[in-house]
């Protein structure tokens, strides 16, 4: 039987997947409260939602403020927006890991990671290696259950445009009919990832870590 009155924490609530997760959680009767950890307001009004405005470079702004049953890690940026690989790593890995560690220390039981296709800490490419390192290190924290989702290119309306991702999604969609082996990189709507994250995150696992690859994500929407 699924637990009701769950309390969720969402990191990255101003992003494409995170904002959709917040909206869906507000409408989900299984969840009684949502805390959004953000630098700026997510601009969603609900009695169920509390915003925790933080400075990710100052742990004292969020330490001992993270409380709930499950945390969703959805934070991410691009090299273009961040300005360098080091700056992107700070957002995608360091900030997320630090929040995950604080959540683990606060005895949050479950963690959902929005990772990436091909994530692998030994990958030669920077982005999947960074995501793989986050998966590996969060898995070593004390969460009872960890759910890892590995979507490919994300589609959807963002507050800030990502032209490169939009072009990549259109190109892959166009060539899929003649190159079906690229199906593992099939673009997916951000709201679909959000739905899958909530559905998967409420499973009662018979193992500690559950990894959902892109081709499996569509089965959990």
Instruction: Judge contact between 111 and 73, C-beta under 8 A.
Output: yes
**Residue 140 forms part of a structural domain:** yes
CATH of the domain at 29: 3.40.50.720
Q: Is residue 179 part of a domain?
A: no
The answer to whether residue 60 is domain-embedded is yes
Tell whether 120 is covered by a domain. Answer: yes
pTM (2 d.p.): 0.87
Per residue, the 3-state secondary structure of 144-193, as one string, reads CEEEEEECCCEECCCCCCCHHHHHHHHHHHHHCCCCHHHHHHCCEEHHHH
pLDDT in tens, 112-169: 999 999 999 999 999 999 999 999 999 999 999 999 999 988 876 545 554 544 444 4
Q: Is residue 34 part of a domain?
A: yes
Domain tally, the chain: 1
- pLDDT tens-place string over residues 7-52: 999 999 999 999 999 999 999 999 999 999 999 999 999 999 999 9
For residue range 211-221, list pLDDT tens digits in order: 999 888 888 88
Answer yes or no: is 178 within a domain. Answer: no
Would residue 220 count as lying in a domain?
no
Within a domain: 93: yes
Note the pLDDT of residue 156.
62
Task: Return mean pLDDT, the chain.
Answer: 87
Q: How many Å apart are CA 204 and CA 157, to the nearest integer?
A: 32
Q: Which domain holds residue 34?
A: 6-153+189-212
């Amino acid at each position: 039987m699924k637990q009701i009155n769950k309390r969720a924490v969402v990191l990255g609530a101003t992003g494409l997947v995170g904002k959709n997760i917040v909206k869906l959680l507000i409408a989900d009767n299984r969840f009684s409260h949502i805390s959004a950890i953000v630098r700026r307001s997510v601009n969603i009004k609900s009695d169920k939602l509390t915003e925790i405005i933080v400075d990710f470079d100052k742990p004292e702004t969020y330490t001992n403020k993270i409380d709930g049953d499950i945390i969703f890690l959805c934070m991410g940026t691009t090299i273009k927006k961040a300005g360098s690989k080091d700056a992107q790593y700070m957002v995608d890995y360091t900030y997320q890991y630090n929040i995950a560690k604080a959540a683990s220390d606060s005895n949050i039981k479950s963690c959902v990671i929005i990772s990436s296709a091909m994530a692998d800490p030994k990958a030669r490419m920077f982005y999947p290696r960074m995501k793989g390192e986050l998966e590996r290190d969060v898995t070593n924290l004390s969460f009872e259950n960890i759910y890892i989702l590995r979507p490919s290119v994300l589609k959807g309306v963002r507050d800030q445009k990502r032209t490169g991702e939009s072009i990549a999604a259109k190109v892959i969609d166009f060539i899929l009919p003649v190159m079906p082996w690229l199906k593992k990189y099939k673009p997916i709507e951000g709201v679909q990832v959000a739905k899958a994250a909530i559905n998967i995150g409420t499973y009662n696992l018979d193992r500690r870590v559950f990894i959902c690859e892109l081709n499996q994500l569509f089965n959990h929407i």
